Structure 1
């Protein structure tokens, strides 16, 4: 397949730099450049793509290819935002020497992802600054669940090994405060250990993956058509975004595209999902600084959006709406007209909420300069989505690599450089207004026709990438198809996996009582991280 013109200079640069050492293979889309490379070139390729092409390493993952005699495959996925495309590099790690040179010292953004590979595939990381277990906790037995010879039905013995030991932070007047892993309310577990001297936080250690669900392994055991429902369960508040990213990947592997009306309806649902979560987060941030009145108004607006979701799709969280090839349910003209009227009403009521928050000087005082994530730190950690845009990272897949109906609408991506809680809330506020505008444009341009294209059986041994700019940030689903309309591998990248380390940086110098509002300003998904 021919590359889009903007990716040709990237390919030419790589060919000149690594003459004769790279093999280009067919990709499912013209905005993707797929390359096979020797293992020893992984670091040099990363350096070239970063420095010469402005690429960013958004995902690193592995696949067990030993059945075919090749060993393990490791993939490096780069987003080249200026070129509106992606570069996927595959290297082979020999089965007889399962070692991988770590890139974490150069690209801090891949720290947890490389450690996932070590935990789940048993590839030893060479040169990693902290090669401790990440996904599988310390008391797990020596198993590698994503290898093909690991049976999903395996009954593991009771865990009896040594529990995770946090790093000790010593010094006069320094003490440690544990929070979690079990929290009040209904959120999932995560362990936060604060090291403080007096009131300021000196250091925060995170421990996630308490409810690792083996989702990527489960994809290998299901027919492709059942995968949509599994994708919806990855992170409940992003059910439609994850399901749509999965559908994109399968559709590209099958060589089909959703019809225009189906793409437009997907866009409406993605924006409704964004609106309901953004308004809820704005209210929750206000709650954490004791402005409960604003929270009540925000919850009222969220409830209105959820009720509209249910009226349109039959589910408040839009589950059951996405399907391979498009969407399951159409909206008739009366529903579309009513949705347009609701958007006008919601906009005015949200403006009233914004003015209420602006008029409360105590709220602004608590939020400004609290939980600052500096732009340089955000870039080093590869922070995405809301948190990234509040810290000067101008990335949004809806604009940079548009799918569905996003190439038919105009909108502005709000970006700030202060990186504090106030700006993370303002990013949500401005994105919500932009979402209302996107919905209006989609309604005005709503095409007719079918809402879904039959996908049929997906050919085996196809590789494809699906992606969506979810409300938290970018979501990736990468698939490798197998015979019998099944998957050999499905890699899931939720934005929360990328963004948790930012919390440890943003809380430094703040006091523990500010942690709830700093944490809520990121509002990361335990489930999306643990998978």
Structure 2
């Protein structure tokens, strides 16, 4: 749907069916080099069509960039509109909080890096105001945490407003190491972009690569070989397994539950060694490529995978049993960090965070990409929306991923196809395309448009962590500050994915 800027809010209400269909993504594009102006794209989930509905508002190249804010209609738009303001200069009238999101104090006012007029290697220095939001009143005080943390973790600043130990409000300042990847991708061919795409996030390498490749492949008439889809599915589920197993242990680090931490780390190591067996590296990079996969998985490797997974399944079951039999631990995680289903829906949350609050959204089922329609697995959900629920969803998803991997291996053994990759031929240009995959944290969406020469004109990356980060500030309210590590780790949100 194409609309004028002043009609964007009304059109968004229609596309979202009055707020019943969540906002999947919202991003800008500079189309001035093609004779157009600036544009805002809104993507909406449409599970009934198993598709994303696309809404576009075009702004004249020399006209105002004002439009009615969508945030009061669709709360999930809040971060997207702040980023659009930073990166392009769009002005959402009526936005409740238009502070900078991505560009911090060291950037000059009026600098909008995703406009075509700004060079990839530009140097910019300046100053802008960035005010942290806090609560004021007698007996209230602030607790600043970060951006530099103890341990190996990326930077993020958290400012708590406290009444005693109770957290009244949390404001999170992120994007400290934003890399400008979407700008860096401009002018590259899809194959040249792969090195960057695989490194958006170490923990979601397969998911990001698969989403991008699907966007590329939709611009071709070629069909990805079936064996390639089997291998891709194996890699995606192996990525989910090593993340979920490791994250289960990491959550327990919030209370110093050392035996479970060690067991999770040990099993994650076993799984990452399997990754290296499959792809030659621990993060499964280089395996998924446009048109298919770069290498096959041989019978000896399949046998090794099954053997290791049998041991991981056994030890993981012991680990979970140890967790649930510790009453003090269960007491700490039950009713802690609650996100209600209505909040999860309003924020368009995805993945474990959404499913722990009662939502059934899972792109493997909803969008049916690849061969997932052929596989027998359940979408695991809980309803309490607390730390305990998010752990239970992970535990259930480990079980389901093990089930999927065994089905895929059975299919690989029966499949005699030798073709692993297909030549995509000439790709369609000046046409928007998207890809989706279910990462360990939820669905990752990539949107792509190629210019007349087949090079990237605009690439937009929306990781699963992006819509889930705002939920953290809601989840902590009313809990005590010692519970923040538990709550934070139960979401296991990624910094690198948003620092794209």
Matches within 5 A, 1:239-388: 239-388=205-354
**Mapped pair 1:478 → 2:438:** no
Structure 1 segments unaligned to the other structure (5+ residues): 1-34
What residue in structure 2 maps to residue 48 of structure 1? 14
Residue pair 2:134, 2:169 contacting (<8 A) in 1 also? no
* 2:95 aligns with one of 123, 128, 131: 128
Residue pair 2:106, 2:128 contacting (<8 A) in 1 also? yes
Matches within 5 A, 1:219-234: 219-234=185-200
CA distance in 1, matches of 2:326, 2:282: 32
CA distance in 2, matches of 1:300, 1:467: 31
What residue in structure 2 maps to residue 165 of structure 1? 131
Cα deviation 1:93-123 (Å, max 9, x = unaligned): 1221122221001111011111111111111
What residue in structure 2 maps to residue 502 of structure 1? 471
Q: CA deviation at 1:268?
A: 0.4
What residue in structure 2 maps to residue 72 of structure 1? 38
RMSD across aligned positions (CA): 1.5
Q: What SS does the corresponding residue of 1:62 show, helix, strand or coil?
A: strand
Residues 360-369 or 453-462, more deviating = 453-462
CA distance in 2, matches of 1:433, 1:441: 13
What residue in structure 1 maps to residue 356 of structure 2? 390
CA distance in 2, matches of 1:71, 1:231: 27
Change (3 A) 1:362 1:53: closer
What residue in structure 1 maps to residue 459 of structure 2? 490
CA distance in 2, matches of 1:260, 1:345: 29
Q: What SS does the corresponding residue of 2:470 show, helix, strand or coil?
A: helix
What residue in structure 2 maps to residue 3 of structure 1? none
| Length, aligned pairs only | 495
Q: What SS does the corresponding residue of 1:228 show, helix, strand or coil?
A: helix
Matches within 5 A, 1:129-148: 129-141=96-108, 142-148=110-116
Q: CA deviation at 1:36?
A: 2.2
Change (3 A) 1:146 1:162: closer
What residue in structure 1 maps to residue 429 of structure 2? 460
Residue pair 1:49, 1:56 contacting (<8 A) in 2 also? no
Cα deviation 1:291-317 (Å, max 9, x = unaligned): 110111111111110011101110111
Cα deviation 1:249-292 (Å, max 9, x = unaligned): 11111233321000010000000000000011100111212211
Residue pair 1:66, 1:72 contacting (<8 A) in 2 also? yes
Matches within 5 A, 1:411-490: 411-446=377-412, 447-449=415-417, 450-490=419-459
Cα deviation 1:410-457 (Å, max 9, x = unaligned): 111111110100110111100010000001111122233211112244
Change (3 A) 1:344 1:511: same
Change (3 A) 1:237 1:418: same
CA distance in 2, matches of 1:340, 1:53: 44
Cα deviation 1:42-87 (Å, max 9, x = unaligned): 2222222333694211111111112233211111101112332221
Residue pair 1:93, 1:100 contacting (<8 A) in 2 also? no
What residue in structure 1 maps to residue 498 of structure 2? 529
**Mapped pair 1:117 → 2:84:** yes
Q: What SS does the corresponding residue of 2:242 show, helix, strand or coil?
A: helix
Q: CA deviation at 1:221?
A: 3.4
**Mapped pair 1:209 → 2:175:** yes
Residues 267-276 or 457-466, more deviating = 457-466
Q: What SS does the corresponding residue of 1:347 show, helix, strand or coil?
A: helix
TM-score normalised over the length of structure 2? 0.96
* 1:519 aligns with one of 485, 488, 493: 488
CA distance in 1, matches of 2:221, 2:258: 50
Q: What SS does the corresponding residue of 2:409 show, helix, strand or coil?
A: helix
Q: What SS does the corresponding residue of 1:170 show, helix, strand or coil?
A: coil
Q: What SS does the corresponding residue of 1:526 show, helix, strand or coil?
A: coil
Cα deviation 1:396-416 (Å, max 9, x = unaligned): 000111112212101111111
Q: CA deviation at 1:333?
A: 1.7
Q: CA deviation at 1:232?
A: 1.1
Q: CA deviation at 1:240?
A: 1.1
Residue pair 2:105, 2:130 contacting (<8 A) in 1 also? yes
CA distance in 1, matches of 2:95, 2:106: 21
